Chain A
C-alpha cells in the first residue's frame, strides 16, 4: 500500500513564499503529482516529478527526493487566489499506475 502524509493547514501573507511538504512510503514508485483544489471545485493539475530534483513552472516549483520519500511544493509571490487545498498524490507501478492521494494541505492567504 501507500502511505502519504501532509500537514493539514497553514496561513501565509500575500506576496510571501510558502512551502508545502509531503512524505510518502510506497513500493514501485512511479511519479509524484501536486494538485490544487479550491473549495467546492475539482482538483486541477499543478506539477509532476518522477526524477529527483526541482521542477519549476512559473510561481510554482516542486521538488522530489526519492531516497527520502519526500516532496515539497513551493509557492512564490503568494496571491489571494492561491488560497486552496494542495494535494500530494503518488503513483506506483502496481495497481495499474493508479494514484493515491494525501489528505491535502489547506493554505490560507491573508492580506
Chain B
C-alpha cells in the first residue's frame, strides 16, 4: 500500500522557471493538503482541497496554484519560481469527519530555486 506519493523528490530550478509537484494518494481520501516546511517556521499550509474539483487557499498561497481534477491527485504549481520558494514541500491527505482525521504525509519534495 503506497499511501501518499510525491514526485519529484528533488528539483533545482532557476528563478522564473515553472514546475508542478504531483501528489497521489491511494486511500480514497477526500481531503488533501500542500504544506511547506522551512527551518524555524514549522509546517505552513499553502493550499488544500476538500474533494475532487475543489481547492482553497491556506496561510501562504501567493505564488502557487493547485488543481484537483481527480480525487486521488493534487497538483501544486509554481508559475514563476522565486528563491523565497526554496523549501521542502509536503503533501498530506486525510479521510472524512467520521475518522480521527490524522494526516498521512508524503515523503516530501525538496525544491531549490537559484
Residues of chain A at the chain B interface (Cβ within 8 Å): 31, 33, 35, 41-45, 48, 87, 89, 91, 96-104
Contact = CB atoms under 8 A, between A and B. Distances in A.
Given A91-B101, A101-B43, A104-B42, A96 B107 contact: no
Interface residues of B, number: 25
Contacts of A48: 100-102
Interface in B39-90: 40-45, 48, 50, 56, 58-59, 90
A56 to B, nearest CB: 16
Given A96-B56, A103-B41, A104-B42, A42 B101 contact: no
A45 B93 CA distance: 12
B105 A44 contact: yes
Q: Tell me which of A45, A48, A89, A102 has the highest count of chain B C-beta atoms within 10 A of its own C-beta.
A: A45
A98 B107 contact: no
Given A87-B43, A101-B42, A104-B42, A41 B107 contact: yes
